[in-house]
Structures are given as structure tokens and as C-alpha cells.
Amino acid sequence: MKMYSALASWWPLLSSPADYAEEAESFLAMMEIAPGEHPTLLELGSGGGNLASHLKAHVRATLSDVAPAMLAVSRQLNPELEHIEGDMRTLRVDRTFDVVLIHDAVAYCTTHDDLRAALTTAAVHCRAGGTVIVAPDYVKESFEPGTESGGEDAPDGRALRYLEWTWDPDPADTTMEVVYAIVLRERDGRVRVELDQHHEGLFAEAEWLAAYRDAGLTPRVVHDRWGRHVFVGRNEKDWHL
């Protein structure tokens, strides 16, 4: 996926950090942080670090992503935070955290095995009694095909605009398709177009809840202010990392 590799340096113009402030506020409420507390947090699939840039004033965050180019973008935005390269399905570090968070990067889990592996990683790194929060963009019950557009201008003269097109070719399976048409304007005014297709996972609410329980997590569903299903689970198991 070019968006997370060859085009990663353009990420802040495709997805602005400023746009994540309300989501960060929503996730912080789900963490139920007591006044004066600064819990430890591991974000799996942290991407360019946009969400963490708003969370870091309230938590002690460690960020992990499978894409080195995206971690480089995040380090520019969040230089004070620890960054770890790793796949959310297989990552293992030597400690646990009060909260483990997976945002929309969970979409790249396209099979039940992928989903269980990612949730097991989350559970393994969550202390007993801690919280695992996963926020997919869609569940099967709420998915609707559609298009979105956006983009930003940079102070250095570069600019980006995109069209995102999402659909589900086979409602009987656990995947959907997302295509991006990305128009890039360089500093010197040259313009080019990049196409990037993403094969993503799409699971029913019951499949999410089953995967949580398989990982030893007791889940509940929170419907956030945007109508999304956010899965919040308490870890009932001490994995003894």
C-alpha cells in the first residue's frame, strides 16, 4: 500500500493531526482515567501518530506500527514517545500496559485468524484488570458503501486532495475494498495522481465479541458520537510476559 510507504511523507496532508482531537477525547472517556492518573498505553497500528498527539498529554504512550515510513512520520510529530516497529498480529514486548488501543488499523485484519491474533497481542500486553479498546471504522451491521474526499495544503507549497471509494464486493465474506485516488501537487506546481487499493476486513458484531472472548477479554460495545461500534474489553487474565 503506497499510502504507508512511498507516499508516507504526504500523510499529514491526507490525514491532518488536528482532525483527531474529538476522537482522542472520546477514547479518553472510555479509559475512565481518574484525576491525576497518567496510565500507560500501547497503541497498535499507530500509523502517523495523529491520535497519539492528542492522547499523550493524558497517558504515557508507546506507539507501534508495521510500516517504518509511518513510524518516521510519527516520530516527527511525537518525538518524545517510544516507537516500536511490529505487526499487531505478532508483536511481543517485555511489559504490560494499563490500556491497549487499536484504532482503524485493525481494518487490515481480514480473516478471523488475523483478528484473533491482533486481539491476543492486545490482551498479552494488557495488565490484568486493564482495558483493551478497538475501534474499527465499520462492522457488517452498519457498513454502507460510499465515497469521501478531503486533503490539506502545506506551508511549503505542497498540497494533496483525495477521493476515497468504499464497497463490499461479497457480503458473505469478511472483507471489503477501499480505493483512493490521490492528487499530489509538488512545491514547483507539478501535479500527479496515485491510485491505492486497500483490501480490508469487515466483521459482524458477534464475530468481534467472540474474538474478544477468545483472547480472554470481557467485552462491551460502546456506540460513539459518530455511531461507530467501539469494543471495550477488560482483561481478566495475567499472561506473565
10 phi, psi to nearest 5 deg: -90, -5
The number of domains in the chain is 2
pLDDT of 188 above 90: yes
Do 129 and 10 reside in the same domain of the chain? yes
pTM score? 0.95
Please report whether residue 194 resides in a domain.
yes
The CATH number covering residue 131 comes to 3.40.50.150
**Which helix or strand (DSSP H or E) is residue 27 part of?**
helix 21-31
Domain span at residue 67 reads: 2-138+203-235
What's the pLDDT score for residue 61?
Answer: 98
In this predicted model, what pLDDT tens digit does every residue of 224-239 receive, in sequence order? 999 999 999 999 876 5
Amino acid letter, 230 = V
Q: How many CB atoms lie within 10 A of CB 202?
A: 22
Do 60 and 131 reside in the same domain of the chain? yes
Please report whether residue 240 resides in a domain.
no
Please report whether residue 241 resides in a domain.
no
In this predicted model, what pLDDT tens digit does every residue of 120-167 receive, in sequence order? 999 999 999 999 999 999 999 999 999 999 999 999 999 999 999 999
Mean pLDDT of 31-37: 86
Do 11 and 112 reside in the same domain of the chain? yes
Do 66 and 88 reside in the same domain of the chain? yes
Do 18 and 89 reside in the same domain of the chain? yes
- Strand order across the beta sheet in which 191-201 lies: 146-150, 159-167, 175-185, 191-201
What's the pLDDT score for residue 35?
Answer: 82
Distance CA 17, CA 161 (A): 16
Do 112 and 168 reside in the same domain of the chain? no
Please report whether residue 66 resides in a domain.
yes
Mean pLDDT of 10-33: 96
Please report whether residue 86 resides in a domain.
yes
Mean pLDDT of 185-210: 98
Nearest residue to 129 (alpha-carbon basis) of 95, 93, 94, 98:
98
Do 39 and 103 reside in the same domain of the chain? yes
149's grid cell: 474526499
Mean pLDDT of 105-122: 97
Mean pLDDT of 22-36: 92
Query: pLDDT tier at 205 (50, 70, 90 boundaries)?
Result: very high
Do 178 and 77 reside in the same domain of the chain? no
Do 185 and 219 reside in the same domain of the chain? no
Nearest residue to 118 (alpha-carbon basis) of 98, 130, 136:
136
67's grid cell: 510500516
pLDDT of 184 above 90: yes
Distance CA 144, CA 198 (A): 17
Do 164 and 178 reside in the same domain of the chain? yes
Distance CA 127, CA 217 (A): 11
pLDDT of 240 above 60: no
In this predicted model, what pLDDT tens digit does every residue of 37-93 receive, in sequence order? 999 999 999 999 999 999 999 999 999 999 999 999 999 999 999 999 999 999 999
What's the pLDDT score for residue 36?
Answer: 85
